Amino acid sequence: MPNCLFCRIANGEIPADKVLETPDVVVFRDINPQAPTHVLAIPRRHVPAFSALGPDDGALLGKLAEALNRVATQEGLSDGYRVVCNNGPRAGQSVDHLHLHLLGGRDLNWPPG
Ligand code: 5GP
Ligand code: ZN
């Protein structure tokens, strides 16, 4: 998707602080971090939202999980972290390319706002 911000980060057109890259997944630091560790895991393939995922996307979800778990280990988050996906405008999704947030490095309240 030529005008998609996260497609452009994935293909290197727009710079980002990338912490992990695999053939299918990119993980990079959020530009406006909400915790000491705040990264986003995205598929290289343009998927507009969590709600666009279906039964054929199980492998992709597994790759996103594996990438985030590796980053959590790299970042020393063995005492806990949170994975969040905002889906749709009412949940605060602001970029229409699937992204999983990984937050850690501080106590995290529940329920989230
Ligand atoms: P959402 O609000 O859609 O759940 O999350 C989008 C996230 O992308 C936000 O946390 C926001 O700070 C982050 N973000 C938006 N634009 C950029 C950017 O250009 N670079 C990086 N690294 N993060 C961005
Ligand atoms: Zn995209």
Per-residue pLDDT tens digits for 46-75: 999 999 999 999 999 999 999 999 999 999
Q: Which pLDDT score is estimated for 85?
A: 98
Q: Which two tokens stand for residue 100?
A: 């999983």
Question: Closest ligand to 6 CA?
Answer: 2
Over 90: is that where the pLDDT of 38 sits? Answer: yes
Q: Which pLDDT score is estimated for 14?
A: 98
- Tell me the CA–centroid distance for residue 78 and ligand 1, in Å: 25
Tell me the percentage of the chain whose pLDDT exceeds 70: 100
pTM: 0.98
